[in-house]
Amino acid sequence: MPRVRIRPAHGRCVTRASTTRRYPCLPMNPIVTRFAPSPTGHLHIGGARSALFCWAFAKKNGGRFMLRIEDTDAARSSLESARGIIEDLHWLGIVNDLGPYIAQNGSIGQHDWEAGSGHPPVGEYFQAKRVPIYNKYLEQLVRAGRAYPAFESNEEIEAQRKVAVAAKQTYRYPRPAEIEYGNFNAALEARWKRAQSGERHVVRFAAPNEEIVVHDQVLGDVKYAAGEMDDFVIRKADGFPIYHFAVVIDDETMGVTHVMRAQEHLNNTPRHVALQRALGFRTPIYAHMPLIVNMDNSKMSKRDKAKFARKAAKDAMAKDKAITAASLSASTGQDEKLIAQFLSADNDSLEIAQALAKHFKVPLPEIEVWDFRQNGYLPEAITNFVSLLGWNPGLKTPDGKDLEKFDMQFLASHFGIERIGKQSSKFDRAKLLSFNADAINALPDEVFASRWRTWCEEFEPEFARVVGSADERWLLLARAVKPRAKTLRDGVRASAFLLRSDDATDFDAAACEKNLLASDRQGLSLLRTVRDRFETVGELEWTAPILHSLIEQVGQQAGTGMGPVSQAVRIAIAGAAVSPPLGESLAVLGKAASLTRIRRCFERFSA
RNA sequence: GGCCCCAUCGUCUAGCCCGGUCCAGGACGUCAGGUUCUCAUCCUGAAAACAGGGGUUCGAAUCCCCUUGGGGUCACCA
Other beta carbons less than 10 A from residue A393's beta carbon: 20
ipTM greater than 0.90: yes
Name the nt closest to A555 by C-alpha to C1'. Answer: B37
Closest CA to A569 of A519, A497, A518, A515: A515
Give the catalytic positions of A in this structure: 302
Quote the pLDDT of residue A145: 97
Which is nearest to A284 in space by CA: A594, A605, A477, A21? A21
**SS3 of A440, please?**
helix
Distance from CA(A403) to C1'(B32), angstroms, rounded: 27
Nearest residue to nucleotide B17, by CA–C1' distance, is: A16
Burial (CB count <10 Å: 0-12, 13-18, 19+), residue A590: middle
Question: How long is the CA A218 to C1' B73 vector, in angstroms?
Answer: 18
Nucleotide B49 C1' to residue A431 CA (A)? 19
The CATH code for residues A129-289 is: 3.40.50.620
Calpha distance A360→A563 (Å, rounded): 38
Mean pLDDT of all residues in A324-351: 92
Rounded to an integer, what distance in angstroms lies between the CA atom of residue A337 and that of residue A506?
A: 42
Do A129-289 and A509-605 agree at the fold level? no
- pLDDT over threshold 70, residue A346: yes
Q: Is the pLDDT of residue A135 over 60?
A: yes
CATH placement of domain A509-605: 1.10.10.350
C-alpha closest to that of A300 among A426, A433, A434, A435: A426
Q: Could you tell me the distance in Å between the CA of residue A393 and the C1' of nucleotide B51? A: 27
Span A242-266, pLDDT tens digits: 999 999 999 999 999 999 999 999 9
Q: Give the separation between CA A171 and CA A184, rounded to whole angstroms.
A: 26
CA–CA separation, A143 and A151 (whole Å): 18
Dihedral-angle region of residue A454 (phi above 0 means left; psi in -120 to 50 means alpha; beta otherwise):
alpha
Are A565 and A555 in contact, with CB atoms under 8 Å apart? yes
> What number is the average pLDDT over the span A218-234?
95
Kindly report the three-state secondary structure assignment for every residue of A142-198: HHCCCEEEECCCHHHHHHHHHHHHHCCCCCCCCCCCCCCCCCCCHHHHHHHHHHHCC
A581 vs A547: CA distance, rounded Å: 11
How far apart, in whole angstroms, are the C-alpha atoms of residue A508 and residue A271?
65
User: Measured CA to C1', what is the nucleotide nearest A288?
Assistant: B5
Q: Which residue is nearest to nucleotide B36 (CA to C1')?
A: A563
- What tens digit of pLDDT does each residue of A434-461 get? 999 999 999 999 999 999 999 999 999 9
* Three-state helix/strand/coil letters over A357-399: HHHHCCCCCCCEHHHHHHCCCCHHHHHHHHHCCCECCCEECCC
Secondary element (H or E) of residue A261: strand A258-262
Give the C-alpha separation, A386 to A408, whole Å.
Answer: 12
Percent of chain A with pLDDT over 70: 95
pLDDT (mean) for A320-326: 93
Q: Does residue A579 carry a pLDDT above 90?
A: yes
Residue A32, helix vs strand vs coil:
strand
Report domain extents, chain A: 129-289, 303-366, 509-605
- Where is A565: in which H helix or E strand? helix A562-574
Nearest protein residue to nucleotide B76 (CA to C1' distance) is A236
Average pLDDT, stretch A57-67?
Answer: 97
- Separation in Å, CA A145 to CA A61, A141, A420, A458: 40, 6, 40, 57
Strand B nucleotides below 7 A of a protein CB?
A: 1-8, 10-18, 25-29, 36-42, 70-78
pLDDT at A2 over 70: no
User: For residue range A353-399, what is the model confidence (pLDDT) as tens digits?
Assistant: 999 999 998 889 999 999 999 999 999 999 999 999 999 999 999 88
Nearest-10 Cα torsion for A414, A419, A420, A425: -100
Mean pLDDT of all residues belonging to chain A: 91
Q: How far apart are CA A561 and CA A559, in angstroms?
A: 6
| Stated length of chain A | 607
Q: Which residue is nearest to nucleotide B70 (CA to C1')?
A: A297
In three-state secondary structure terms, A214 is strand
